[in-house]
Structures are given as C-alpha cells and as structure tokens.
C-alpha cells in the first residue's frame, strides 16, 4: 500500500514544482519584455522630440500601458506555501497512509492556488505583449506616413 501513497505524494510534489518553475520562467520572460519595452519607450521618446505631432503620443501611451501590464505580471512575486514544520506537527504522529494522503492533498491544494496565480500573471503578460506589438506597429506605420507620405 505504501508504494501507491509514495506515488501520489511524488506526483503531487512534482506537479507543484513544475508549476512553480513555470511561474518563475514567466517572471523572467516578463523582465526581458519590460527591458525591451523600455528600449522602445526610449526610442519613441526620441522620435517625439524630432517630430512634434500629437498622433505619435497614441502608440507612446499604448506602450506605457503595455509595460505597466507586464509589470503587473511580475508582481506578486511571492505566494503562500505550506509549512514543512506545520506539516510535521500535524502528520508526524499518524500512520503512514494517512500522512501520505494529507501530504498529497496539501500539495494539490497549493498547486491549485499557484495555478490560479499563474493564470492571472499570464493574462497580464498576454495583454501587455499584445499592446506592445500594437504600439510598435502603429508607431512604425505613423513614421512611414510622416517620412514618406505613404
């Protein structure tokens, strides 16, 4: 019977840590996109000093909202996790099967909480990335019109 419980606990633990790695990699990607967005923001600012057209502020503002959205993806950077000490206190004196079930349930519960946070963060990331693409395309299109009249 112990092998089934070990399997359940290991599967729940592995799922939780995989999701935790996904959240960390999404944060790293968001930092990179914010850096790229900041470079584009600098370029847009320089373009605004050369061309004094108010229509150029539209993609500039869209880009600022995109960067803020992606920053919203980065935070919160922490989430509540189960306590190993509390786990030992609660389940240290019960038989193996009950303890294994409780541990598997704890990992499943924290995985569910982390999954909700990941989905929220990913939504901010998608919105920010989409807005950033729209602002860059719009800025390039406006510049082509201003420079070449096309």
Residue 2 in this model has a pLDDT that exceeds 70:
no
pLDDT band at 86 (very low <50, low <70, confident <90, very high): confident
The pLDDT confidence band at residue 146, using thresholds 50, 70 and 90, is confident
Main-chain dihedrals φ then ψ at residue 118, nearest 5 degrees: -60, -45
N-to-C CA span, the chain = 74
pLDDT digits (tens, 9 = 90+) for 33-49: 999 999 998 988 888 88
pTM (2 d.p.): 0.79
Q: Across the chain, what does the average pLDDT equal?
A: 84
Helix axes 84-91, 96-148, angle to 10 degrees: 160
pLDDT at 105: 82
More confident residue, 150 or 137: 137
CA 35 distance to own-chain centroid: 15
**pLDDT score of 122 more than 70:** yes
- pLDDT computed for residue 31 by the predictor: 92
pLDDT at 97: 76
pLDDT of residue 81: 65
Q: How far apart are CA 35 and CA 74, in angstroms?
A: 13
């Amino acid at each position: 019977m112990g092998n089934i419980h070990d399997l359940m606990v290991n599967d729940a633990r592995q799922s939780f840590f995989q999701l935790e790695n996904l959240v960390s990699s999404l944060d790293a990607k968001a930092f990179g996109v914010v850096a790229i967005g900041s470079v584009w923001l600098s370029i847009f600012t320089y373009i605004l000093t050369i061309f004094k057209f108010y229509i150029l502020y539209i993609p500039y503002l869209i880009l600022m909202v995109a960067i803020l959205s992606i920053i919203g993806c980065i935070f919160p950077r922490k989430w509540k996790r189960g306590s190993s000490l509390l786990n030992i206190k609660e389940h240290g004196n019960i038989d193996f099967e009950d303890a294994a079930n409780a541990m598997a349930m704890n990992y499943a519960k924290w995985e569910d909480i982390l999954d909700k946070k990941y989905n929220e963060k990913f939504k901010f990331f998608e919105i920010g990335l989409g807005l950033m693409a729209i602002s860059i395309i719009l800025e390039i299109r406006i510049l082509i019109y201003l420079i070449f009249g096309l």
